[in-house]
């Protein structure tokens, strides 16, 4: 049986960070998920700087995985847009709860990783299916 590619540790770290920052808590009654990004962003001045630093960590993890400069640039644009939205008094604080740049960036990382490992994943899936079919015949 072939070995399936393992999800890289850096991608797992990025997923955990994005979940913490964008969707860690469920709002009772409506079920919408928010994260620390919107809460930290409420701190005047320093809040948005902290959230940008954390978002930059996710981009750094993507860079360490070997993502292309074009994808890294797209991720940085998401961070800049999130920062600019958050900088608008009151409206920006609300926008921080809806524009989830970290989740968008991790989704881009996941798609990139899947595209890089597509053949191995297909081969592994096919081998496991063949193995299962063989076990069903006996």
The model's pLDDT over 93-112, given as tens digits with 9 standing for 90+, comes to: 788 788 899 999 999 999 99
- Half-sphere exposure of residue 134: CA atoms within 13 angstroms, side-chain side: 7
If you average pLDDT over residues 3-25, what whole number do you get?
90
How does pLDDT run across 31-81, given as a tens digit for each residue? 899 999 988 988 887 888 999 999 999 999 999 999 999 999 999 999 999
Number of neighbours of residue 47 by Cβ within 10 angstroms: 18
37 assigned to some structural domain:
yes
Domain that holds residue 51: 9-137
Q: Could you tell me if residue 14 is inside a domain?
A: yes
Q: Any idea which of 4-18, 72-86, 120-134 has the lowest mean pLDDT?
A: 120-134
Question: Is pLDDT at 5 greater than 80 in this prediction?
Answer: no
How many domains, in total, are found in the chain? 1
Question: Rounded to an integer, what distance in angstroms lies between the CA atom of residue 21 and that of residue 36?
Answer: 5
Q: What is the pTM of this model?
A: 0.82
**Rounded to whole angstroms, how far apart are CA atoms 100 and 55?**
10
In a domain, 2, yes or no: no
Is position 3 within any domain?
Answer: no
């Amino acid at each position: 049986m072939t070995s399936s590619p393992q999800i890289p540790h850096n991608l797992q770290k990025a997923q955990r960070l994005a979940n913490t920052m964008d969707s860690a808590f469920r709002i009772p009654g409506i079920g919408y998920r928010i994260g620390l990004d919107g809460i930290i962003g409420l701190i005047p001045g320093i809040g948005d700087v902290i959230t940008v630093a954390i978002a930059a960590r996710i981009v750094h993890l993507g860079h360490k995985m070997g993502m292309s400069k074009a994808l890294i640039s797209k991720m940085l644009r998401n961070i800049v847009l999130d920062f600019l939205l958050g900088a608008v008094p009151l409206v920006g604080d609300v926008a921080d709860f809806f524009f989830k740049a970290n989740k968008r960036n991790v989704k881009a990382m996941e798609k990139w990783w899947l595209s890089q490992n597509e053949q191995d994943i297909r081969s592994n899936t096919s081998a496991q299916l063949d193995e299962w079919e063989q076990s069903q015949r006996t």
